[in-house]
Chain A
């Protein structure tokens, strides 16, 4: 599958006095899952709505492949999007919801059933959406996005309201999409939610780009650390100082910053220091994410 690249270029949206999205530029490549991350109100949904032609940018543009979303002859076949879990007519059945949109993405009623089955809703096909749980609505939204088996998939907070089993399911699905060569953009306000499934991260806050890189690169910016319990903490502190690591006492043990658990273990072993506990205590991505998305004034 050769999927188009998404190119966000200087995208800006002004709502009255509020600049919801401010000169945002990034690209989303095919064959990978890109996490579009930021706190609630950072401008993620507004950006996605501009990408999908629902909201007009104040400046800049967003391209799906070589043109804007709305300029594609049948955009629903190119991009499958699920924006919010509540945008269904409650009186329509799940199957009827899909059948309503099927003609414009050019798929048959049989395909609607097939997609419903794929998201695990075949048992609720004839049930009115008003009686669906939030998790079921998320699945129906995803089914709508997948109707045309599109090369680009855009999901806004797809894990909201899903049970743990559903979250694992979404992760696996996202990995599968990327493996098939699709372009996948997934927004979330929690890095932890998508950490296991994304290859690339685009982090925004207050409408501005704060960070864009691969997840692996972001990880290298996190500092390694280890938690150690030793019968002679003073000896260990001296060892850490000798190696250029900082050690601070924490409860019964020490937190050694600047070294991985393996490095601390190897150094202690070489120095003949007895250890009773050795645990990874790396500055996790979530903390780094929190730091990256702090309000401008508080940085």
Chain B
């Protein structure tokens, strides 16, 4: 297993796409962090800010998940789909015919890069949002225990997304299909469904079981939740739900893509 992990890690770091995606992620999250912070601190006279104080800070910093999760998902999915796109899967399975071990190594190998993405992504959001919150709002709250916990859990969430990305890639081994589905789901389907569920009393709780909702629950704050209509799960349940998605997709990928003949 150690050899398989080392091989998978080398596969990641010997290509460039990851660093490019991280760069884009940083730029994007600095911008979004600043924009959302601005919406909290620049309010017309007499109007109530949507959120203020610590809530504003926590919600801004949670954007690393709410907006940023597409990046680790794509990075993770690429780790798997690239094997099929460039047919390196043949050589990979020649040296590791145990396909379960291959998949496990692949899932675990993205954790370091996921954590790295989490750190830089979280720093980017803070870099974008904190100055505005501190200068114009009620403060950046970077010394607050709850806020710090949210920041650290944001890093963990991003790493989990990378793992889920690998699992998604094992189900959708076609690279283009995987990216299109991830983009559509994260940018369009899930936000709309979460807001939609929030409008229906009987289904309010269900939104937290969607992957993005569970991730927000783990962090303890949600951009969509800032409207006060989205319930969040307890943290332990959120972890279980996220790991459940990873395991579910991975098992599905093992039973479909990785059960088939290669070649």
Q: Which residues of A contact B (CB under 8 A)?
A: 45-46, 49, 52-56, 69-70, 75-76, 79, 81, 83-84, 86-93, 96-97, 99-106, 144
Question: Which of B4, B91, B98 has the largest number of chain A CB atoms within 10 A?
Answer: B91
Given the complex, which residues of B lie within 8 Å of A55, measured CB to CB?
261-263
Question: With an 8 A cutoff between CB atoms, is B93 at the interface?
Answer: yes
A70-B97 contact, Cβ under 8 Å, with A89-B82, A91-B16, A91-B17: yes
User: Are A53 and B95 also in contact (CB < 8 A) when A84-B90, A90-B86 are?
Assistant: no
Closest to B83 in A: A89
Binding site for A on B (CB under 8 A): 2-4, 6-7, 10-11, 14-17, 82, 86-88, 90-98, 261-263
Sample of 5 further A-B pairs with CB below 8 A, known A46-B263, A90-B86: A49-B262, A49-B263, A55-B261, A75-B95, A87-B88
A75 CB contacts on chain B under 8 angstroms:
94-95, 97
Complex alpha-carbon distance, A105 and B92, angstroms: 11
Closest 7 CB pairs of A and B: A70-B97, A87-B87, A104-B95, A96-B14, A55-B261, A103-B3, A76-B95
Residues on A with C-beta less than 8 A from B98 are 70
Contact in complex: B93, A99 (CB < 8 Å): no
Q: Is the CB of A89 within 8 A of B15?
A: yes
Residue of A nearest to B92 (CB): A101
**A76 and chain B: residue at smallest CB distance:** B95
Return 27 A-B CB contacts under 8 Å, by A number.
A49-B263, A52-B94, A54-B94, A54-B261, A54-B263, A55-B263, A70-B97, A75-B95, A76-B95, A83-B94, A84-B90, A87-B87, A87-B90, A89-B11, A89-B15, A92-B14, A96-B10, A96-B14, A101-B92, A101-B95, A103-B2, A103-B4, A103-B6, A103-B10, A104-B4, A104-B95, A104-B96
Residue of A nearest to B15 (CB): A91
Q: Provide the bound-state CA to CA distance between A46 and B90, in Å.
A: 13
Residues of B within 8 A of A106 (CB): 3
With a cutoff of 8 Å between Cβ atoms, the chain B residues found around residue A79 in the complex are 94
CA–CA, A91 to B88, complex, Å?
12
Residues of A within 8 A of B261 (CB): 49, 54-56
| Chain A residues, CB < 8 A from B15 | 89, 91-92
Structural contact, B94 and A81, CB atoms closer than 8 A: yes
A91 to B3, alpha carbons, bound, how many Å?
Answer: 22
Residue of B nearest to A54 (CB): B262
User: How long is the Cα–Cα vector from A92 to B10 in the complex, in angstroms?
Assistant: 10
Contacts of A53 in B (CB 8 A): 93-94, 97
B14 and A144 within 8 A (CB): no
Looking at the assembled complex, report how far the CB atom of A72 sits from the nearest CB atom of chain B, in whole angstroms: 8
A93 CA / B16 CA spacing, docked (Å): 11
A20: min CB distance to chain B, Å:
11
Cβ of A88 and Cβ of B86 under 8 Å apart? yes
Complex: how many Å from CA A84 to CA B94?
13
**Whole-angstrom distance between the alpha carbons of A55 and B94 in the complex?**
11
A88 to B15, CA, bound (A): 12
B14 touches A100 (CB 8 A): yes
| Docked complex Cα distance between A76 and B98 (Å) | 12
A88: B residues at CB distance < 8 A: 86, 88
Residue among B2, B91, B262, B263 making CB contact with A101, cutoff 8 Å = B91
Given A101-B7, A101-B95, A45 and B263 contact (CB-CB distance below 8 Å): yes
